[in-house]
Amino acid sequence: MALMSMGQYLHYAGWFFKSKLGVKKPLVLTMVINYNCNLSCKHCSIKGNYEKLPPPTTIPFETAVAEMKQFYSEGARILFFEGGEPTLYRDGDKGLLDLIKAGKAAGYYVVGYTTNGTNVIYEESDVISVSLDGPREMHDQIRCAGVYDKLMANLDKTTHKNIFANMVVMKENVHLVRETVEVATANKHIHGIMLNFLTPPPREQTITLDEKKKVVELALQLKKEGKPILNSRKALQEMLIEDYGEECADWVSAFVLPNASRHYGCPLRGTEACKECGFDAVREYSLIVRGNFSAIREMSSRFAFSKE
């Protein structure tokens, strides 16, 4: 509690109790700020559908700032930037760092972004998610040659205290979950790892339910061994519910896409992809709304409260 300001705590408590009364307001704003990327990952749904995506493929800076202010006024307090590769974001002389600073100026308690880690790492961000899909050979096999070494070299340059790895478990790397967790555990710059299953497309890389059960059993064992797996225990178990539609509290996060379209909840809701959801975050959201103490404790300590 020492790191939590009373104002932040009261805001979250108020949001929670209002949600129990049926008031569904987003607490998280996820902004997909661009679709372009410097890699060509095998499991990337954007890569395979780039020509079909509605223009523009990069959100204008002023539009992004206006959107983050609007959602802040509606109660959102956690802001995450995604892509594409968000560190490649440019609008004139504005880049991702300018968006991070704008989010902080707007009042968000936590501002973070997801990255492949091959570009710059911004110390100003409160939390950073770096993609790690296996040890060197597997990571490069999935994401492009040389990516693993670039990621590790960039991590060696940073002193950031809240970087975590994000593994997407799929056909190609399902046999290397323990090894990937060991890589994250051994790296002093990585402070935990989050496991997700691949949400199709591409469908050919998704694993079977039996394979998912083995991964969850292994992940629970690794947590028992003290490995820094960030998924809560209950969320890991609920990742075996593939069609999570009825349980899903996706409304906890609003989304803004590069064309400035707004989504109060997951943009994939109601699609075929929704029926094979592999995202841990929606499980954590739903558990938090249901008052699961473990999920609230494990998620809030890393992703909800400003450390300043």
State how beta strands 78-82 and 28-32 pair.
parallel
**Domain definitions of the chain by residue range:** 6-303
Q: Dihedral through CA 104, CA 131, CA 120, CA 93, nearest 10?
A: -60
Report if pTM > 0.85.
yes
Is the separation of the CB atoms in 267 and 54 below 8 Å?
no
- E-only strand ranges, the chain: 28-32, 78-82, 90-91, 94-95, 110-115, 127-131, 163-169, 193-197, 253-256, 262-264
Fold of 6-303: TIM Barrel (3.20.20)
Asked if 129 contacts 97 with a C-beta cutoff of 8 angstroms, the reply is no
In this prediction, residue 273 carries a pLDDT of 85
| β-pair partners for 94 | 91
Tell me the one-letter amino acid at 174.
V
55 Cβ contact partners less than 8 Å away, ≥ 6 residues apart: 259
Nearest to 81, CA basis, from 63, 64, 93: 64
Q: Name the nearest CA neighbour of 112 among 130, 95, 94.
A: 130
pLDDT in tens, the chain (308 residues): 344 588 999 999 999 999 999 999 999 999 999 999 999 999 998 876 666 677 889 999 999 999 999 999 999 999 999 999 999 999 999 999 999 999 999 999 999 999 999 999 999 999 999 999 999 999 999 999 999 999 999 999 999 999 999 999 999 999 999 999 999 999 999 999 999 999 998 899 999 999 999 999 999 999 999 999 999 999 999 999 999 998 999 999 999 999 999 999 998 888 888 999 999 999 999 999 999 999 999 999 889 988 76
The whole-angstrom separation of Cα 90 and Cα 76 is 25
What ranges in 123-249 are assigned the alpha helix state H?
Answer: 136-143, 147-156, 177-186, 209-224, 233-238
Q: Burial level of 302, CB count in 10 A (0-12/13-18/19+)?
A: middle
Shortest CA distance to 267 belongs to which of 77, 32, 109, 67?
32
Residue-level pLDDT at 5:
82
Q: What is the pLDDT of residue 308?
A: 62
